[in-house]
Structure 1
Amino acid sequence: MKYRRLGNSGLKVSEIGLGSWLTYGKSVNNQTAHDCIHKAYELGINFFDTANAYEGGKAEEVLGEALKEYPRSSYVVATKLFFPMGTGPNERGLSRKHIVEQCDASLKRLGLDYIDLYQCHRYDPEVPMEETLLALDDLIRQGKILYAGVSEWSAAQIEKAVGIGKDYRLRPIISNQPIYNMFERYIEDEVLPVSVEKGIGQIVFSPLAQGVLTGKYKPNTEKPANSRAANDATNFVINSYFRDDVLTVVQKLSGLASELGVTLSQLALAWILRQPIISSAIIGASRTEQIEENVQAVDIKLDQHVLQAIDSILEEVKDFAPLR
């Protein structure tokens, strides 16, 4: 495994991280989840991402239970808040009240004394950004969290947050967690340049486009049984990628990967890690074999010829943005 600093901070995270969205606490039983988390740790993954809203906190509980046998200093836990955790008007968003209460709730579910990286799961237009950032800074001062970050914030929002942080002498946010894969590249236009300028690391999710970039889904073919796409609990996200032109491009990329002697998922992850500002790519896994395959991507370097070949293939679906 290889490690990168998270933005301008001193925190080092594995280039491949393990997430729990749509898997742990939901479609994957707890024992399988524990096996995957243990395998990830064994292979050098030190970055584990979750969120309070993932199955109402169940994903946090599963992650905390699996990690408790390891030295606390040996892993980095990231969780998030924003989405509703109840029906009340203050049980959502990024108000000071919700931030403080949900931090305590996440700590309890995770069974931890502190959270390494606490992230704003989305931007909240109803709360002054100053209120949000001051609340996060207070949690850092109290030792409940070590670092703060955001997820899916725009370049303008990130730039504003950095400016407020400087004005109020706050500990800076260090990361942004956006979607990024070969089909969803919006961050390249503004988010990445601003993040480079401001020292904000990127922890990207859905790097394999919810499994589409493994090559297992074929054009004009039924979805394989037991796949995420065939699972009614998880297919609401992946279905947006199911277009014949997209799946045809995936087959061309798979052919290129074969020529290079790597799997398509390894090629897709190596393509993401070509960006120095990206600190970690978060994978999801329901089998330990998937983790063993994916971590090998950190050793793959793509030369300019290969990158040009990938861009040429992706040109066919350049305007396709499935989740935005």
Structure 2
Amino acid sequence: MEYRLLGRSGAAVSSLALGTMTFGRETDEAGSHAQLDEYVSAGGNLVDTADVYSGTESESIIGRWLAARGAAARDDLVIATKGRFPTHGDPNALGLSRKHLTQALDASLRRLQTETIDLYQVHAWDALTPLEETVRTLDDAARAGKIRYWGLSNYTAWQLTKAHDLATTRGWLAPVTLQPQYNLLVRGIEAEIVAAVQDAGMGLLPWSPLAGGWLTGKYSRDEPPAGASRLGEDPERGMEAYAKRSAQERTWRVIDAVRSVADSVGATPAQVALAWLLGRPAVTSVILGARTLEQLRGSLAVVDVVLSDEQVRALDDASDPGFDDYPYGPAGENQRSRRIDGGR
């Protein structure tokens, strides 16, 4: 297992994180604990959850696992969770206000059965709460010893930059990570968000690295999803989601490229997709999600997969998001370039 620094902090985390959104929903407690054991035995140390996963049950399952294994096991891990969305119906039980964040954080600490959360992430932007209120609340939480670091999730580039710059100019603890959706089929963050992350010295923690199963190679043009897949088990929503992505020629171009590279390196399509993502700029740790122990083991085996420069270029080309129009692409680059030979 490779280890990388958590943004501009000095904390080291494994390049593969264990995502736990399936805990308590698609994976029962025994299966969830088995995943945690497998992940830790493979050298992983970053466990990511959120208060809304499985109606708070994901955090509780992790908390019981931590309690059973003792303080030494807890000290070896970097526990990450999130707050922002409602877990009950009170009108103040959502958003990034001081009231809600403080209560959400305290509730997460109780469920996780820990005194400190290593990485506390705000789950999404809140347009109604002043940013100063949110960032100051997180700084206060760090000073109180409730969190060690904080990060962002699902923020745009301008939101990220505004939050980071506010923290640094006020002398408050600044965010160290951003958790966005990022994979071979979803590369929109490369337009501006990756550059903003790098400029702030933050790290990326990509979620949905396999695009909801599309990059595992389980879907095909001619066979609609069925059975043991997220799309197949919910026929109505599954077919709608399948039809939308299936209609895009780029989807099948990417899948064909992933399968081709997988055949040439003797790996699974999922492992190839993960290996590509691990090599992207600013990526600190890729969040793995699995319903079964076998799925997790397959993903963890990506540590043995090495892609050549040629294979990476093939995947890049097939998945090119097409940022060609101004202010991106050649036209935008020409406008932003600064030459010293008299050119514009």
TM-score (norm 1): 0.92
Confirm or deny: 8 A CA contact 2:262 2:269 kept in the other structure.
yes
Distance (Å, rounded) in 2 between the aligned partners of 1:235 and 1:48: 29
Q: In terms of mean alpha carbon deviation, does 80-89 or 294-303 score higher?
A: 294-303
Partner of 1:153: 155
Instruction: Encode CA deviations 1:20-71: one digit per residue, 9 max, x unaligned.
Output: 22x1111221111111111111111111111011122111111222233152
Q: 2:273 corresponds to which residue?
A: 268
Amino acid at match of 1:59: S
Do the aligned partners of residues 242 and 235 (structure 1) sit closer, same or farther apart at CA in structure 2, a change above 3 Å counting? farther
2-side partners of 1:235 and 1:111: how far apart? 36
> RMSD of the TM alignment (CA)?
2.1
Q: In structure 1, how many angstroms separate the alpha carbons of the residues matched to 2:159 and 2:296? A: 34
Q: Which residue number in structure 2 is paired with residue 95 of structure 1?
A: 97
Q: Percent identity, aligned pairs only?
A: 36
TM-score after normalising by structure 2: 0.87
SS of alignment partner, residue 116 of structure 1: strand
Distance 1:61 1:243, change over 3 A: farther
1:300 and 2:301 are equivalent in the alignment: no
Looking at both structures, which has the greater relative contact order when contacts are Cα pairs under 8 Å and sequence separation is at least 6? 1
Distance 1:111 1:232 in 2: 34
- What letter is aligned with 2:53? Y
Shift of 1:226: 1.9
2:223 maps to what in 1? Answer: 221
AA paired with 1:62? I
Give the corresponding residue for 1:56.
55
CA contact (8 A) 2:27 2:292 kept: no
User: How many pairs were matched up?
Assistant: 317
Give the CA deviation at 1:218: 1.6
1:157 is displaced (CA, Å) by 1.2
State the distance in 2 between where 1:160 and 1:39 align. Answer: 39
Match of 2:261 among 256, 265, 283: 256
For 2:141, the equivalent position in structure 1 comes to 139
Q: Check if 1:46 corresponds to 2:45.
A: yes
Using the TM superposition, give the Cα deviation of residue 3 of structure 1 relative to its aligned residue in structure 2, in angstroms: 0.9
TM-superposed deviation, 1:302? 2.6
Of 103, 108, 119, 2:110 maps to: 108
Name the stretch that deviates more: 56-65 or 134-143.
Answer: 56-65
1:247, distance to aligned residue in structure 2 (A) = 4.2
* Number of the residue aligned with 2:8: 8
CA distance in 2, matches of 1:135, 1:314: 40
Question: Unaligned regions of 5+ residues in structure 2, if any?
Answer: 324-344
Give, as a single letter, the amino acid of the residue that structure 1 aligns with 2:291.
Answer: S
Structure 1 CA distance, aligned partners of 2:151 and 2:225?
36
CA–CA separation in structure 1 for the residues paired with 2:45 and 2:4: 11
One-letter amino acid of the counterpart of residue 156, structure 1:
W
- The CA distance in 2 between the partners of 1:238 and 1:214, in whole Å, is 16
Please say if 1:178 is aligned against 2:165. Answer: no
1:112 deviates by: 1.0
Tell whether the 8 Å contact from 2:257 to 2:314 is kept in structure 1 after alignment: no
User: Given that residues 218 and 248 in structure 1 are in contact (C-alpha distance below 8 angstroms), is that contact kept between their aligned partners in structure 2?
Assistant: no
Q: Structure 2 counterpart of 1:60, which letter?
A: E
State the alpha-carbon separation in 2 of the partners of residues 264 and 12 from structure 1. Answer: 28
2:284 to 279, 286, 308: 279
Secondary structure in structure 1 of the residue aligned to 2:221: coil
Rounded Cα–Cα distance in structure 2 between residues aligned with 1:252 and 1:190: 25
Instruction: Indicate conservation of the 8 Å contact 1:228/1:234, yes or no.
Output: no
**Within 5 A, what are the aligned runs for 1:114-125?**
114-125=116-127
Q: Which entry has the higher C-alpha Rg, 1 or 2?
A: 2
Deviation, 1:244, is 6.7
8 Å CA contact 1:60–1:110 kept in 2: the answer is yes
Gaps of 5+ in 1: 320-324
d(CA) in 1 for partners of 2:168, 2:12: 23
Contact 2:258 2:315 in 1 (8 A): yes
2:138 and 2:237 mapped to 1: Cα distance? 34
1:310 and 2:310 correspond = no
Does the 8 Å contact 2:8/2:176 carry over to 1? yes
